[in-house]
Amino acid sequence: MAISDILNAGRSSLIAQQRALKVNGNNIANVNTPGYTRQRPILEAVPTSAGGGVRVADVEQIVDRFVETRLLGQSSTAAGASARRDLLEGVQSLFPVGDASVSGALQDFFAAANELSAHPEDLAVRNDLLDRAETLAGKLRSSAEGLGAVQREADDRVTADVADANGILSRIADLNRSIRVEEVATGSSANELRDQRRSALGDLAKLVGIRTVENDDGSVDVYARSGVALVSGSNAARLEARLGTTLGLDGAVLHDVGVVAPDASLIPLGSDPGGSIGARLGVRDDELVAQAGSLDAIAVTLRDAVNGVQTDPAGRDLDGLVGSALFAGTGAADLTVALTDPRGIAAAQSTTGGDNANALALANLQTTTFAGLSGQTLSGAMGALQSDVGASVRNATDAATIEDGLLANVQAQRDSVSGVSLEEEFTDLIRFQRAFQAAAQLISVGDGMLQELLGMVR
Amino acid sequence: MIGRVTQTMTSDQLLGNVQRLQRRLLVAQDTLSSGKKLRQASDDPAGAALVNGLRAQSADLNSLSRTIGFGRSVLTAQDDALGQAQDILVRAKEIASQQAGGLATATTRQQAAEEVEALERQLLTLGNTAIDGRHVFGGLASGTAPFSDFDDPGFDPLNPYTGPSGSFSIRTAPGTTVRLTTPGDQVLGSSIAALDGLRQTLVAGNSSTASIDPLEAAADGVRAERASVGGRARQLGDRASEITSSVSKITARLGDIESADYATVITELTQLQTALQATLSAGQTLQTSILDYLNL
């Protein structure tokens, strides 16, 4: 045991404690940095044979792989639930509760038909019926247009999501390469780059459901839920939203989403791609199509029922002729009022004035049930559609709230493992500071001993 | 259970709680200011469907009550007219009795014939009674009067009615109708014929004994029709009050489903405000950190 060993031990400790303090300081500095993973110096005793003392073997990140995986999954679910809720809320505003709705217009139309049955010859009443029919057709059209607009918005957002996802995929591939290069070069883990990759994966998971596999060389492979590779090592696949063949509610083509294969064909992402892309595709292709279908059924039933009474061979208009169709169109989106002359409304079933037999039949349609509407009345079917939309919004809102809560839980778990605690950092700070002081003391003791020896020589 | 607690966790949780409370406060305030707990379908999807059905029902009832009101005015007009027709027939029968006996002379019969002619004209006018230009004994047809004029060259006392043969009904309930009108010939045809018979007998200077029976039969017919009109008017009246009470029940149901209970909302609002204040003041204690106790 030589005095130089004492000095050496002191020196190594001074350096090691300083490095530890540096890591400490870095943690404290990043206490509010999103996605920052706390680091911990690993102190290691240097064997006495190699001169003794202490050194910082590595600076490791404190990460729980399983919590990270759960966080990615939950990010997808929560982002999907929010995207779904936002789109469906747009649908709900098309079907307000109250008189401003299609239901209100339907009630007004039938009230006018009832009024016609009391005053079949009154042109003002006839005009009013045509006006109400116009309003009703307009409300149905604007609801259908609204559904089409929400569907187009979903499609546009998916296209934007795909562009975002492509940016993130190539960033992850780049980071994979940089991490491998840096870790091979330095022999220690590239913590900051890994943090960046983790947050890129988190951003990607919000867009689309992913599965990750970490390789031995430190790179991460990313797969879509269907198993298609999105990133392998330093190569990123490319997602594409390509114009497909399905027509949207607005009559224009919708996009198909998938991974571009080497032969430029599109590999679909499966039935449930997850994330906001999956949720938006779901609302676009399922809910909105079903709701538009119900609305069309109502419009078509209304058209056929009213036209049926109006063109009944027994029916007569004010000029004693059989009536012509009142509504025209193929569905809710293009329903119009074809009849312009109020005299053309077939209120009578005979040519004698004051006959209201056909108007009574028209007014009775209000309470008629139709097989095409699953045995409901027109206004019942409208109520069912409204309730359906309301229920889907409610479910989506509840799901979004629950999934956000779960995400907060997982996030808290991640923070608990990987987040910076100032209390801990400052306690460590004191520990390392005192160790630094002790090491300095050690050197001064060694120095004293050396002085002593030198004094003997003199 | 979570082991380590970090700064981010505490602040994230605080922020999350504050936002959750503020979201609920927003809903509570909107409920309070709008007075509605069913603000959109997602607030209560089943309730929304119910509200839809109730509103449709109430709209139908309100529209029915308007047409029923019109029907009642038509029946009232008929009742008035039939009442006057009865008076006319009573007077005609008096004349017929007076001019039947031996006291009557050609002169008195001539004079009486003039009165009977006036009565006949009056009855024809009653047959053309109209509301807003629509004839209550003519199937509510507007335009030409259903009974032809006494002075018309083609006037036929046995067939004075030229209006439609159908009757007019209105809806009183889904699928149910009540008849408002009866073709005028069925109501007043025999009365006019009887009156004209009396008039012609008197003009000819003959005894009017034979005219009494037809007049009595005609009066019976008018009385029967008046009873029928009264019955239908009562039916409409009953239906109108039924509708009024149904509508008020529906309105009450709608209120139950749609309207907010102020006591509940205000209580909730107060609770939420208290919770928010508590959460925010909890946030102040977060400012305490280890740095306050260290003397580095």
pLDDT digits (tens, 9 = 90+) for A65-114: 999 999 999 999 999 999 999 999 999 988 888 777 898 999 999 999 99
Judged by CB atoms closer than 8 Å, whether chains meet at A417 and B4 is answered as yes
Q: How many CB atoms lie within 10 A of CB A68?
A: 20
Cβ atoms of A38 and A64 within 8 Å: the answer is no
Contacts 24+ apart (CB under 8 A), A190-198: A190/A218, A191/A37, A191/A39, A191/A59, A191/A61, A194/A37, A194/A61, A194/A218, A195/A35, A195/A36, A195/A37, A195/A61, A196/A35, A197/A172, A198/A35, A198/A37, A198/A68
Provide the residue type at B114 as one letter.
Answer: E
Q: Map out the domains of chain B as residue ranges.
A: 48-253
Q: B215 in helix, strand or coil?
A: helix
Cβ atoms of A77 and A381 within 8 Å: the answer is no
pLDDT tens digits, one per residue of B39-61: 888 888 989 888 988 998 999 99
Does residue A310 sit within a domain? yes
Q: Which residues contact B78 (CB under 8 A, 6 or more apart)?
A: B129, B136, B137, B181, B229
- Mean pLDDT on A258-262: 93
Burial class of residue B296, CB neighbours in 10 A (0-12, 13-18, 19+): exposed
Judged by CB atoms closer than 8 Å, whether chains meet at B60 and A366 is answered as yes
Judged by CB atoms closer than 8 Å, whether chains meet at A416 and B164 is answered as no
Q: Which of A390, A409, A428 is the C-terminal boundary of a domain?
A: A409
- Answer yes or no: do A33 and A155 share one domain: no
Whose CA is closest to A365, among A296, A293, A307, A291?
Answer: A307
Scanning A208-287, the segments in alpha helix (DSSP H) are: 275-282
Does residue A154 sit within a domain? yes
Contacting residues of B for A397, CB less than 8 Å apart:
42
- Answer yes or no: do A303 and A382 share one domain: yes
Closest chain B residue to the Cα of A115, Cα to Cα: B67
pLDDT tens digits, one per residue of B114-134: 999 999 999 999 999 988 888
Does residue A139 sit within a domain? yes
A197/chain B closest Cα distance in angstroms? 20
Helices B184-203 & B45-98 angle (0-180, nearest 10): 10
Judged by CB atoms closer than 8 Å, whether chains meet at B59 and A111 is answered as yes
Contacting residues of B for A360, CB less than 8 Å apart:
169-171, 177
Among residues of chain A, what percentage have pLDDT more than 90?
76
A210-214/A220-224 β-pairing: antiparallel
Judged by CB atoms closer than 8 Å, whether chains meet at B3 and A421 is answered as no
Take residue A264 and report the two structure tokens written for it. 């430029």
pLDDT tens digits, one per residue of B204-257: 888 888 889 999 999 999 999 999 999 999 999 999 999 999 999 999 999 999
What is the predicted ipTM? Answer: 0.83
Q: Which residues contact B210 (CB under 8 A, 6 or more apart)?
A: B201
Take residue A63 and report the two structure tokens written for it. 């990460």
A50/chain B closest Cα distance in angstroms? 35
Domain containing A41 equals 3-62+419-457
Does residue A414 sit within a domain? no
Judged by CB atoms closer than 8 Å, whether chains meet at A415 and B296 is answered as no
Cβ atoms of B158 and B142 within 8 Å: the answer is no
- Answer yes or no: do A57 and A75 share one domain: no
- Of B6, B46, B52, which has the smallest distance from its Cβ to A421's Cβ? B6
- Of B38, B56, B169, which has the smallest distance from its Cβ to A379's Cβ? B56
Question: How many distinct structural domains can be found in chain A?
Answer: 2
Candidates A36, A107, A129, A425: best to mutate against B (most CBs of B within 10 A) is A107
- Of A356, A379, A397, which has the smallest distance from its Cβ to B168's Cβ? A356
- Answer yes or no: do A56 and A125 share one domain: no
Pick the CATH number of B48-253 from 1.20.1330.10, 2.30.30.830, 1.10.3720.10, 3.40.50.720: 1.20.1330.10
- Answer yes or no: do A376 and A432 share one domain: no
- Of B16, B44, B56, which has the smallest distance from its Cβ to A107's Cβ? B56
- Of B16, B56, B62, which has the smallest distance from its Cβ to A408's Cβ? B16
Write down the pTM of the prediction: 0.84
- Answer yes or no: do A438 and A399 share one domain: no
Q: Residue B286's pLDDT is what?
A: 64
Does residue A393 sit within a domain? yes
Contacting residues of B for A419, CB less than 8 Å apart:
4, 6-9
A28/chain B closest Cα distance in angstroms? 11
- Of A354, A390, A423, which has the smallest distance from its Cβ to B42's Cβ? A390
- Answer yes or no: do A283 and A224 share one domain: yes
Take residue A434 and report the two structure tokens written for it. 């005192």
- Answer yes or no: do A383 and A432 share one domain: no
